[in-house]
Amino acid sequence: MPEPVIRAFFDEPTNTVSYLVSDPATKKAAVIDPVLDYDHKAGTVTTDSVEAILAAADEAGLEIVWALETHAHADHLSGAPYIKAKTGARIGIGEHIKEVQRIFRPVFNATDLRTDGSDFDHLFTDGERFRIGDREAEVLYVPGHTPADIAIRIGDAVFVGDTLFMPDFGTARADFPGGDAKKLYASIQRLLALPPQTRLFMCHDYKAPGRDDYAWETTVAEQRRANKHVREGVTEEEFVAMRTARDATLAAPTLLLPSIQVNIRAGRFPAKEANGVHYLTIPVTFKKDAHAS
C-alpha cells in the first residue's frame, strides 16, 4: 500500500505546523491541527492559513474527511470549524478533552459549554483505529503536556502533537492545568518504543539556537539518539526534575486565554452577545495586594 502523502503548513506567528495527510488511492484526506489566524491586539480573525490548506487540497483533488486535533492547544485558535464548514469534515479529538473542559469551564465561566465533549464530532479512545480512505490510522493516548493529548499514526508516520519537539529543542511544557511531567515521560517512552525508522511529525518548531531553518520531521531513532531532554539513558526522575525546573521559568503563551476558551468549544467562539458581537473572556487575577481598596 502506498504511503500517505503528507504536506506541512507552517504558521510562523504561532510556530505551529498543520498537516494535510491524504490517501493517494482514494484521495481522502485529514487535516491535523489547523490554525485560525487571530490577531490578539486587534481582536480580528482571518482564515489565510486554513484557506491555504483548503486550496492545496482542492488543487490535488482531495476530499477532506477529518479535521483532527492532537489536543486543546494553548498557543493558537483552531481552524477546524472553518474546515468543517467548507468541507463537511468531522472534527475529532481525544476523549480526555472532557477533563480539559471540566478544568477550564469554571475558569472562563463558560456556562454554555457542555463538558461531555459533544462540541466535537468524534472523541477518540486509546488504540482506536479509523480510516482515511483506504488508509487505517491509529490513535495513541499520550497525556502529560495536557490531560488529553493524542498522537495519530498513519502508515509509517506519527503526528506527535506536543509530546516531542525536534531533538535539538526537546519537549513541550507540562505545567498547564492537568499537565504532568511524569505522564509526559511515559507517553514519550511509548512513542520512542515504535520502530526506529518511524517518521515523527512535530506540531511546533521554534528553531533551536544555532539552527537557521524551521524543521518538523524526524524519526524515532533520531529522537532516541539525540533529543536533548529525553534521549536514551535519561531517567524519569531526571526528566521530571528538568521539566519542572524549566517550566517554572516559562511565561504564559500569548494566546493562552483566547485559545483555550475557543479550543475547548471545538473552535467555537462564545455566542454573540445582544449587540451581535463575539467576546472573549479574560479572567483577571489580582496578585497579592494588587486591589487598590
Minimum distance of Fe ion from residue 73's CB (angstroms): 5
Minimum distance of Fe ion from residue 253's CB (angstroms): 8
Q: Distance between CA atoms of 53 and 75, rounded to whole angstroms? A: 19
The half-sphere exposure of 242 on its side-chain side, counting CA atoms within 13 A, is 14
Cβ–Cβ < 8 Å for 256, 247:
no
Minimum distance of Fe ion from residue 146's CB (angstroms): 7
> Binding segment for Fe ion among 29-37, 103-111, 154-162, 189-197 (CB under 5 A)?
154-162
Verify binding: residue 33, Fe ion, rule CB under 5 A: no
Minimum distance of Fe ion from residue 208's CB (angstroms): 18
Phi, psi of 214 (to 5 degrees): -70, 150
- Please name the residues in contact with 250: beta carbons below 8 A apart, sequence gap of 6 or more: 173, 175
Minimum distance of Fe ion from residue 71's CB (angstroms): 6
Question: Based on CB atoms, which residue is closest to Fe ion, 56 or 256?
Answer: 256
Q: Distance between CA atoms of 43 and 64, rounded to whole angstroms? A: 29
Q: Could you identify the residue written with the cell 498557543?
A: 75
Identify residues 45-104 at the interface with Fe ion (CB under 5 A): 73
Cβ–Cβ < 8 Å for 57, 108:
no
Question: Based on CB atoms, which residue is closest to Fe ion, 22 or 163?
Answer: 163
Rule CB under 5 A: choose which of 69, 95, 99, 162 binds Fe ion.
Answer: 162
Q: Which chain residues interact with Fe ion by CB under 5 A?
A: 73, 162
